[in-house]
Amino acid sequence: MPQNVPEFEFSDNAKKVRAFVFDFWCEHGRGPTLLEVHQSTELDRRRIIAAYKELQLGIDIVVNEDTQNCNLLKAPPFSSFPSQVRAYIDDKFHSFVGCASEAVAFSHMPPFKDKTVRLESHCACCFTPVTLISKNFEMQSVTPPGVFLHISLSPYDWNNVDMSRMCDSMNYVLDAEHAEHYEKQTATRGILVNLDQAKMFVQNVANERMYNFHWKPGTLNPRAVIKGFKMMGVDTSAWE
């Protein structure tokens, strides 16, 4: 269970693979194949997969460890599959975004500096389109205004196996009424986070990712996550 994993250090191979994965995804809008990782890093299959497993334990990527090719499913802020948010750079489709929360940090990736990022999503309950324009980690516009990030999984169940369920539970809703409708549709309870609070939530990761080659492995501490939201003024009573 990768919660409260004791502190560890990434190997040099893991850091090298991580840097390549993010560079490649920014440039091509998709994750690399094992061949492409090999061509860049000169690591063999066994070492690439070992690096992926380390990076998954350090909460940087999601891979399916039970596949022979260790399928690379996510490297937030990116997703390999059609997720709840699409990113457009200068009006051209770039990639699927890891989740509604990661979308807020997308424009902070160094290769996207000074570029206008348009994030296309929808209200989770009714599919009303939601469009966010972001530049240099600053939200330029939100349509319709007042959209919330809704998180419908308790941090005590984030990362039980990997990040997938956590990301899946982070969606946009138009308002509290739409949040309640979505909760009924999915038999969940959730919290409402405004986009300023969402930025605070993702900024520690966003300031390290691609900026610090030696970025340390993440740890998931559910109590600390909930305390952090409370300190931002978010009502976390749905999780108590």
Q: Which residues bind Zn ion (CB under 5 A)?
A: 123, 125-126, 178
Nearer residue to Zn ion within complex by CB, 56 or 171: 171
Return the amino acid letter for 89: I
Are 97 and 85 in contact, with CB atoms under 8 Å apart? Answer: yes
User: Judged by CB, which is closer to Zn ion: 115, or 189?
Assistant: 189
Q: What is the largest CA-CA distance in the chain?
A: 53
Nearer to Zn ion, 51 or 179 (CB): 179
Nearest distance from residue 190's CB to Zn ion, in Å?
A: 13
Instruction: Collect contacts of 175-180 with beta carbons under 8 A, ≥24 apart.
Output: 175/146, 175/148, 176/148, 178/123, 178/124, 178/125, 178/126, 179/125, 179/148, 179/150
Considering the complex, state which of residue 87 and residue 123 has its C-beta at the smaller distance from Zn ion. Answer: 123
Name the minimum Å distance from CB 173 to Zn ion.
Answer: 6
Distance CA 195, CA 149 (A): 7
Query: Shortest distance, CB of residue 120 to Zn ion, whole angstroms?
Result: 16
Nearer to Zn ion, 126 or 224 (CB): 126
Closest separation between CB of residue 182 and Zn ion, Å?
7
CA–CA separation, 218 and 68 (whole Å): 25
- Type of residue found at 90: D
Query: What is the DSSP secondary structure assignment for residue 6, as one 8-state letter?
Result: P
Closest approach, Cβ 174 to Zn ion, in A, equals 5
